C-alpha cells in the first residue's frame, strides 16, 4: 500500500499504490494505482486495473476499462451515466450569445443547439472535447453560465477519466441556466 490512502476495504491479493485512494472495496487480484480513486459505492475486483486518475464512483469494475475501451461501463462507473442504444447524455458549460441557440464554450468557439460539433485542431480541441454530468459540475463549483445537455455516441468516446468523458463529437440538444 505504498503511497496510498485506504479508508475502505482491501482484501485478497489486491494492490493499492502510487497515491491512489480507496473509500470503497478492492479485492481479488485488482490493482488501483496512479492517483485513481475508488468511492464508497464502488467495488473493484477480479483482475481489474484502475489507474491514471480514474474515479470509480459506483458499480463493479472487473477488468481494465481503459485498456479494453469499455466506454459504456466506464461511463457508468465513473459518471453514473447509463447508455441506451449506444448513446448517452452529458453536460458542458457555455455562455449565451446574441443568438438564443448559440453558446460560447471557450473564448472563441461556439456550439449550436441541434448541430453536431466535431472536435478538431482548428477549433482548439485536437485532443477531443470533455463532457461530464450536472452533479460533477456542481461538485466542482463549476455551476456558472448555462448547462448544455449534449448527446454523445459511445463510439465517439476517446477516454473516460477523472469524472469526464472526452469525445470526438457531440450534439448539443438543450441549454438551461
**Tens of pLDDT, residues 10-57:** 999 999 999 999 999 999 999 999 999 999 999 999 999 999 999 999
**Residue 158 pLDDT more than 70?**
yes
Angstrom distance (rounded) from CA 41 to CA 25: 8
Mean pLDDT of 86-100: 95
Q: What is the pLDDT of residue 84?
A: 97
What order of strands is seen across the sheet that includes strand 157-161?
129-131, 164-167, 157-161
Identify the three-state secondary structure at position 74: helix
Spatial neighbors of 138 by CB under 8 A, at least 6 apart, are none
* 135: DSSP letter: H
User: What pTM, to 2 d.p., does this model score?
Assistant: 0.93
% residues pLDDT > 70 (the chain): 97
Q: Is 85 exposed, middle or buried (0-12, 13-18, 19+ CB in 10 A)?
A: exposed
Amino acid at each position: 500500500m505504498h503511497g496510498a490512502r485506504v479508508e475502505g476495504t482491501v482484501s485478497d491479493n489486491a494492490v493499492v499504490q502510487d497515491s491512489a485512494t480507496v473509500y470503497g472495496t478492492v479485492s481479488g487480484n485488482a490493482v488501483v494505482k496512479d492517483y485513481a480513486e475508488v468511492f464508497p459505492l464502488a467495488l473493484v475486483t477480479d483482475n481489474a486495473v484502475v489507474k491514471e486518475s480514474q474515479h470509480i464512483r459506483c458499480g463493479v469494475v472487473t477488468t481494465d476499462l481503459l485498456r479494453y475501451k469499455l466506454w459504456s461501463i466506464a461511463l457508468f462507473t465513473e459518471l453514473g451515466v447509463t447508455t441506451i442504444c449506444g448513446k448517452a447524455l452529458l453536460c458542458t458549460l457555455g455562455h449565451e450569445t446574441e443568438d438564443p441557440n448559440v453558446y460560447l464554450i471557450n473564448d472563441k468557439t461556439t456550439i449550436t443547439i441541434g448541430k453536431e460539433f466535431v472536435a478538431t485542431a482548428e477549433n482548439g480541441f485536437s485532443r477531443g472535447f470533455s463532457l461530464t454530468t450536472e452533479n460533477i459540475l456542481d461538485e466542482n463549483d463549476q455551476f456558472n453560465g448555462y448547462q448544455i445537455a449534449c448527446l454523445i455516441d459511445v463510439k465517439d468516446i476517446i477516454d473516460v477519466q477523472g469524472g469526464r468523458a472526452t469525445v470526438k463529437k457531440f450534439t448539443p440538444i438543450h441549454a438551461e441556466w
